[in-house]
Structure 1
Amino acid sequence: MPKYVLFDFDGTLADSRNVFISGWNAFAEKYQYRKIKFEELSSLRKLSILERAKRLNFPILKTPLIIPDFYRFYLKNAKEIKLYPRMKEVLDTLERQGHSTAIISSNSEDVIKEVLLRNQVFNISRVLSSNVIFGKDQLIQKFLKEHQLKKSDVIYVGDEQRDIIACKSAGIKVIWVSWGYDAKELVQEQNPDYLVYSPEELLEVVLEELGR
Structure 2
Amino acid sequence: MSGIASSFPKGVLFDLDGTLLDSAPDFVATVNVMRADRGRGPIALDALRPHVSKGARAMTAAAFADVDPAERDGWIPEFLEVYRRELGRHGGLFDGVATMLERLEAAGTPWGIVTNKPEGLAAALMPLLGWEQRCAVLIGGDTLPVRKPHPLPLTVAAERLGVAAADCVYVGDDERDIEAARAAGMASIVALWGYRLPDDAPEAWGGDVLVEHPDHLHAADAWPSRP
Instruction: Tell me the TM-score range normalised by the shorter chain.
Output: 0.7 to 0.9
Instruction: Provide the secondary structure at the position in 1 that maps to 2:139.
Output: strand
Instruction: Give the secondary-structure state (helix, strand or coil) at the position aligned to 1:22.
Output: helix
Match of 1:105 in 2: 115
The CA distance in 2 between the partners of 1:206 and 1:66, in whole Å, is 45
User: Number of matched residues?
Assistant: 208
- The residue aligned with 2:6 is none
Moved more, 54-63 or 123-132: 54-63
Note the alpha carbon deviations across 1:47-66, whole angstroms, 9 max, x for none.
Answer: 98899887735638976x65
Identity of aligned residues (%): 24
Q: Say yes or no: does 1:123 pair with 2:123.
A: no
Deviation at 1:9, TM superposition (A): 0.7
The corresponding residue for 1:20 is: 27
Higher relative contact order (CA 8 A, sep 6+): 2
- 1:69, CA displacement in angstroms? 3.5
Instruction: Return 5+ residue gaps in structure 1 as ranges.
Output: none
SS of match in other structure, 1:125: coil
Q: 2:175 aligns with which of 152, 161, 164?
A: 161
**Greater helix content:** 1
Query: Is the 8 Å Cα contact of residues 7 and 157 (structure 1) preserved in structure 2?
Result: yes
RMSD: 3.8
TM-score in terms of structure 2 length: 0.71
Which amino acid in 1 is paired with 2:212? Answer: Y
CA contact (8 A) 1:3 1:210 kept: no
Distance 1:148 1:70, change over 3 A: same
Aligned-residue offset at 1:101: 0.3
Distance across 2 between alignment mates of 1:22 and 1:52: 12
Partners of 1:142 and 1:86 in 2: how far apart? 27
Deviates more, 1:72-81 or 1:97-106: 72-81
Q: Secondary structure at the match of 1:155?
A: strand
Counterpart position of 1:199: 214
Instruction: Tell me which residue corresponds to 2:84.
Output: 75
Q: Which residue of 1 aligns with 2:188?
A: 174
Question: CA distance change for structure 1 residues 87 and 146 in 2, over 3 Å: closer, same or farther?
Answer: closer
Q: 1:188: how far off?
A: 2.0
Q: 1:73 & 1:54 partners in 2: Cα distance?
A: 16
Alignment check: 8 A CA contact 1:48 1:161 kept: no
CA distance in structure 2 between the aligned counterparts of 1:51 and 1:118, rounded to whole angstroms: 26
| Residue 148 of structure 1: how far off its partner (Å) | 5.4
Ranges in structure 2 where 5+ consecutive residues have no aligned partner: 1-8
